[in-house]
Amino acid sequence: MATSLLPRHLSENGAVIERHWQELSSRRRLYSWLGFALLFLTLSGSLWFANDSNAGKFFDRLPHFFDFVGDLAPRDGLEIFRAMFDLPSPYDDGSFKYNYPEGRLYLTDSFYIPEYFHKMLETVNIAIFSTVIGTALGFVLCFLAARNLMPSPWIRGAVRRFMEILRAFPEVVIAGFFLAILSLGPIPAIAAVSIHTIGALGKLFYEVVENADMKPDESLRATGGNWIERVWFGMVPQVLPNFTSYFLLRLEINVRASTIIGAVGGGGIGELLRLSIGQGHQAKTLAIVILLFATIFAVDQFSAWLRRRLVGEQAFQLAQ
Amino acid sequence: MTTTTRLSPMEMDAIATRHPELLKSSTSNRVRTAAIAGGVIVYLVFSWWFFSIGQVLGNANWGIAGTYLADWVSYEVRPQIHIASDRTMSLNYQRNSPLGPNPKPDWVELDKETMTRRVEIPASTTQVAKPKASSSFSFMAPGSALGRGSTAEAQNRVETRTEEVLTRVVVTYDRSTKIEIADGLVKATHGGETLTMAVDGTDTVTPQGALPSWATQKRPGEKIVLAFGATGWAEVEGDEVSVRNRFFGWANFLFDTNSPFFGRSYGEVASLITSGERIDPARPNLSLAWNNILYNAEWQHLDVWTKLLQTIVIAFVGTLFASLIAFPLCFLAARNITPNFMANQLAKRFFDFLRSVDMFIWALFFTRAFGPGPLAGISAIFFTDTGTLGKLYSEALENIDDKQREGVKSVGAAPLAVQRFGVLPQVLPVFASQALYFWESNTRSATIIGAVGAGGIGLKLWEAMRTNSDWENVAYMVLLILLVVFIFDSISNACRSRLMGRKAH
């Protein structure tokens, strides 16, 4: 047996090493436990605080947790489709709850777009439009923020700080501010979403640019190309697939964002959903939720498919 | 090495002329770029029409935008000078003036005189041959006994009073801008130009001489608006001059006007706290001061901080729970870990469902279930991010290096040990880094879903904005949010780079 050949007692040197190793590992264990204890304390403190400052207490409300499912059950299943396609309801009693045909948008005398489809289109269009604007401006800014193209740390730093502020600035405030000036409508939502998009995409873009291959740039510089030519012919062709992929990723996020912003006053489907939940219109709520779910799912799948075609599997890595 | 691949320039040109198609990009390539660019432009034009952007921007009230923006970092003090037809004046300030009750700012210079006059209460609409009428000089009840041609009842009571009136008021905005009112003349000086306006104490203003560029009057006799730029503005009407003097900064940020510490300098407050007499005998001055700061009526510091803490807690707890639940589920969803098609699909579709029913919808539902407050926000983030993190985690699992796992498996380790030693060390840094990223990004999301009732500072922000007059409170909250986001951003970035760095070597 090999083990019998091993010395029973360690030499002095070996004992020192063993002791050091034991010390290190016990210290590491201690730190881990301290970390976990701290996390646990923070978590329980946070939970207590959240429960304490909530309108309803967790354990009081838990039995009523599925009440909202009851609130959502419509009078009959077909109501959902009538609400979705603006068909007249047999339960129509003149109240707001069952007046589905009212929101129809007539394109011709007989052909109409149901209200929720119209509003959903508006929300999606807000998302696309603001993503396009945000991408365009982020595209311009990102080259000024990339270390390999902008040697001056002042301009680079200023552009980066600027984008950070655009990114972190609460969207609600931008929407609310434009709401105060422009009155109700989709433009506050567009402003809020695109301003955030500039910051978010600008950051992702300049990280792509910094990781780009500098050889085309070098050769352009050697042939005397100016800055714009270097960017346009040396950088843009290699970063474009990644930029497009991020554009699509952002589009997914912005469809959600424009829904939320809509709910706080930006128009579109979000506002209708908030109102309909608040007023307890079950069929309308369910119709909107289904529509929203289908749209978000479709946009996600489409964008995932397109991104996979553009840049392959790496498109699925976390953005940022 | 008989042949060389190097071409002489002449030969290069020869080849280029022989195969011109090589140096030209294909038609489809060129057309594609143009088509995409054209498509984008057409789309932008369409959207311009769809959202009627031009019309909305044209109708927007841009003048108000400037005022709202200025309100973020400054405040207005609004003394109003009423001019009676006997050319005496009275002065009052807006309700809840930032200067507190009974303000005596040094930029308003007053000449007072005590005179005995006959006062008509209430004043009639017909101003014919009225004896010396005036309004009382009062700070405490602005506009209460003035009436000034607003009541139609002609039942006038005429009293003789001895009271103090103003004969001359000088409001100094800054070094080059001031307004002087005396003897029925309003003299405004701005940037070296002086405009004198005659006011009759009833309803007519007559400028004497041409209006300078900073003064506007829509119709002769109507009110004149004087815009002095950043330092403020004024409105001159026949019987009233409304002064809006703008000061940089946040008014009464620490102590509101009801606090005993109001209007004292920092030194005075410090000495009161450390060695002064007790203002409230029940408790020391320090606790009184702290209490006054927390419950400042204008800024509501305690409430803002509590709501901000709620937002932080929502993001923290929501993300933590989401990653804890997504962790076991992602092993089920990963093709290479669980080779069961049904289980993979089930878990993946479950994640898709959680993600696609948006955070916003979850927030609305949970607000119904738990009532408005952070529990709703936590649940909304928890549900959405279980989906998102689950998806990202399972994709990370599917991309792992299989060698390590096979190595552990080949020495006969139990399935659990294979995951623990073959898989986990590869993905744990990625998992943690993604959770950290979402923690930081959820701090921002929590602000927004708060506005629909899911707790946190969102609702407070929204309410402050809706009144259109509390923009300085909005600025304060935005500043706090930016601060929190930047701090969390750097913590999360530092942790992530440490995690990923350790993975690198």
Give me the residues of chain B with pLDDT under 70, please. Answer: 1-4, 118-157, 501-505
pLDDT digits (tens, 9 = 90+) for A29-74: 999 999 999 999 999 999 999 888 887 788 887 777 777 777 777 7
Task: Tell whether A54 is covered by a domain.
Answer: no
Residues of chain A in contact with residue B453, where contact means CB-CB under 8 angstroms, are none
Q: Are B460 and B356 in contact (CB under 8 A)?
A: no
Count of alpha carbons within 13 angstroms of residue B208, beta-carbon side: 10
Pick from A173, A260, A318: CB nearest B474 = A173
- Would you call A186 and B372 a contact, using CB atoms and an 8 Å cutoff? no
Question: CATH code at A173?
Answer: 1.10.3720.10
Residues of chain A in contact with residue B348, where contact means CB-CB under 8 angstroms, are none
Task: Tell whether A105 is covered by a domain.
Answer: no
pLDDT digits (tens, 9 = 90+) for A167-223: 889 888 898 888 888 877 888 899 999 999 999 999 999 988 988 889 999 999 999
**What tokens appear for B113 in the block?**
């005189």
Question: Which residue in chain A has the smallest CA separation from B61?
Answer: A181
CA distance A45 to chain B (A): 9
Pick from A186, A273, A296: CB nearest B364 = A273
What does the alpha-carbon distance between residue A50 and residue A46 come to, in Å, rounded to a whole number? 6
Whether the CA torsion A260, A264, A269, A274 is positive or negative: it is positive
The pLDDT score that the predictor gives to residue B125 is 45
Give the per-residue SS3 of A71-139: HHCCCCCHHHHHHHHCCCCCCCCCCHHHCHHHHCEECCCCCEECHHHHHHHHHHHHHHHHHHHHHHHHH
Task: Tell whether A17 is covered by a domain.
Answer: no
- Give mean pLDDT, residues A274-283: 84
CA distance B56 to chain A (A): 7
Amino acid at the residue A315: A
Complex ipTM value: 0.84
Task: Tell whether A176 is covered by a domain.
Answer: yes
What does the alpha-carbon distance between residue B242 and residue B232 come to, in Å, rounded to a whole number? 11
What does the alpha-carbon distance between residue B315 and residue B382 come to, in Å, rounded to a whole number? 9
Q: How many inter-chain contacts (A to B, CB under 8 Å) are there?
A: 186
Identify the band that residue A82 occupies on the pLDDT scale cut at 50, 70 and 90: confident
Look up residue A47 and give its DSSP letter: H
Does B358 reach chain A within 8 Å, measured CB to CB?
A: yes
The pLDDT score that the predictor gives to residue B237 is 86
Task: Tell whether A280 is covered by a domain.
Answer: yes
Does B317 reach chain A within 8 Å, measured CB to CB?
A: yes
Chosen from B45, B303, B375, B389 to mutate, greatest number of chain A CBs within 10 A: B375
Count of alpha carbons within 13 angstroms of residue B243, beta-carbon side: 26
Q: Are A307 and B367 in contact (CB under 8 A)?
A: no
CA distance A162 to chain B (A): 13
- Would you call A256 and B358 a contact, using CB atoms and an 8 Å cutoff? yes
Phi, psi of B122 (to 5 degrees): -80, 160
Residues 6+ away with beta carbon under 8 Å from B253: B296, B299
DSSP-assigned beta bridge partners for residue B172: B178
Does A211 reach chain B within 8 Å, measured CB to CB?
A: no
| Nearest Cα residue to A176 out of B74, B483, B447, B310 | B447
Question: Which residue in chain B has the smallest CA separation from A47?
Answer: B317
The residue range of the domain holding A229 is 113-316
Task: Tell whether A177 is covered by a domain.
Answer: yes
Measured CA angle at A168 (ends A165, A169), to 5 deg: 80
Whether the CA torsion B365, B370, B372, B378 is positive or negative: it is negative
- Would you call B314 and A58 a contact, using CB atoms and an 8 Å cutoff? no
Mean of the per-residue pLDDT values of chain A: 86
What does the alpha-carbon distance between residue B55 and residue A80 come to, in Å, rounded to a whole number? 36
Residues of chain B in contact with residue A65, where contact means CB-CB under 8 angstroms, are 369
For chain A, how many structural domains are there in total? Answer: 1
Question: Which residue in chain A has the smallest CA separation from B321?
Answer: A43
CA distance A72 to chain B (A): 10
- Would you call A132 and B444 a contact, using CB atoms and an 8 Å cutoff? no
Chain-centroid distance, C-alpha B178? 32
Pick from A172, A187, A320: CB nearest B437 = A320
Q: Per the confidence metrics, is the pTM higher than 0.90?
A: no
- Would you call B449 and A260 a contact, using CB atoms and an 8 Å cutoff? yes
What does the alpha-carbon distance between residue A231 and residue A251 come to, in Å, rounded to a whole number? 25
User: Architecture of domain B301-504 in CATH?
Assistant: Orthogonal Bundle (1.10)
Residues of chain B in contact with residue A274, where contact means CB-CB under 8 angstroms, are 364, 452
Task: Tell whether A251 is covered by a domain.
Answer: yes
What does the alpha-carbon distance between residue A24 and residue A16 come to, in Å, rounded to a whole number? 12
**What tokens appear for A38 in the block?**
């701290």
Residues of chain B in contact with residue A259, where contact means CB-CB under 8 angstroms, are 358, 360
Pick from B57, B306, B486: CB nearest A53 = B306
Phi, psi of B239 (to 5 degrees): -120, 10
pLDDT digits (tens, 9 = 90+) for A109-151: 778 888 889 999 999 999 999 999 999 999 999 999 998 888 8
| Nearest Cα residue to A116 out of A84, A152, A155, A82 | A84
- Would you call B358 and A261 a contact, using CB atoms and an 8 Å cutoff? no
What does the alpha-carbon distance between residue A184 and residue A5 come to, in Å, rounded to a whole number? 86
CA distance A68 to chain B (A): 6
What does the alpha-carbon distance between residue B467 and residue B487 come to, in Å, rounded to a whole number? 30
Within 36-55 of B, beta carbons closer than 8 Å to A belong to 40, 43-44, 47, 50-51, 53
What are the residue boundaries of the structural domains of chain B, listed by start? 9-47, 73-248, 301-504
Q: Are B453 and A165 in contact (CB under 8 A)?
A: no
Classify B186 as helix, strand or coil. strand
CA distance B181 to chain A (A): 34
Between B25 and A228, the higher pLDDT residue: A228
What does the alpha-carbon distance between residue B201 and residue B190 come to, in Å, rounded to a whole number? 24
- Alpha carbon separation from B388 to B196, B311, B380, B435 (Å, rounded): 68, 20, 12, 10
Count of alpha carbons within 13 angstroms of residue B66, beta-carbon side: 9
Count of alpha carbons within 13 angstroms of residue A202, beta-carbon side: 28
Residues of chain A in contact with residue B365, where contact means CB-CB under 8 angstroms, are 68, 277
